[in-house]
Structure 1
């Protein structure tokens, strides 16, 4: 499987932590509660490994929001939560007093908004740091097993899944989610080249 050098890996983790920091600030304003987010780890996996990481082995269902990005590199980005946590996240956005029936009706719209905030923060930070254009599509909502969602997005052919493990910590909740970037081999090389340019710029000539 594709591997980055330790330096490249640490640079990407740092960049994504900046991105989710921006997302956390936006989320804090929505829920009127301090939200902190971090990316403790990233990994490069094939689709089967990514699905297993998300709990596909016990057929647990996942809620996902995907957006397609093009520019410096092409990728399908997907934010995924365990389905049993999705209503917790929606309730944080709309308040404790909303009845469950209304909550489930709001679920798709609310999660799409959260996905849009987090994915655009991650991708926007990449674009800013790399000084490149990355434009995204409108968010699409998905529910199913992680394997179904990963298979429904990102096309066919040889692809690698860049998985970000994201911790959401609120005053009364801790929720774990994942962002998956589905990259073909060309996009993967483009991403690695952008990371190398970023490192060369901040570290100066070798």
Structure 2
């Protein structure tokens, strides 16, 4: 399998971590979707990464779709529970972490792609409100459990760790470590895993 992506994308990182936790072999093909020579649209009409190219040449895209597929390939390091309620809880955590990222990415694009005089502060504030609401909710839900969705490491922790890692990388001014000790403890714990150490964004 080949994974098209970038080293800075938190969505690509999520897939890479799942690949490592599942002990799956693949090659990472670096591609900048903003570059004129990008090949991503050949495989994903939306022009987004990650994009997984399988052995038969078929393509799969959207990180949530990809990681759910990868979790079925081997029983090693099972990350998504089989039971409906527990499964939904993990997927809901993933949706929250990804949604927080979606909002933060929109802010970054607004600030980096538009001239300052064309930027909408109302738009930026609206997206940042989502980021802070997401952090507050995740911290509250972690109050009673060592991991996001209970007592064991799951995809919820992968997604949350990727979201927090990207915020630390791109938005160091957001003081989530000081504001939410629960999130800091979780992040420090998952960051000790080889899969996280090997995929730090840069």
Q: Same fold (TM over 0.5)?
A: no
Q: Which has the higher contact order (CA 8 A, sep 6+)?
A: 1
Q: Which has a greater percent of helix?
A: 2
Q: Which has a greater percent of strand?
A: 1
TM-score range, shorter chain: under 0.3
TM-score by length of 2: 0.26
TM-score by length of 1: 0.26
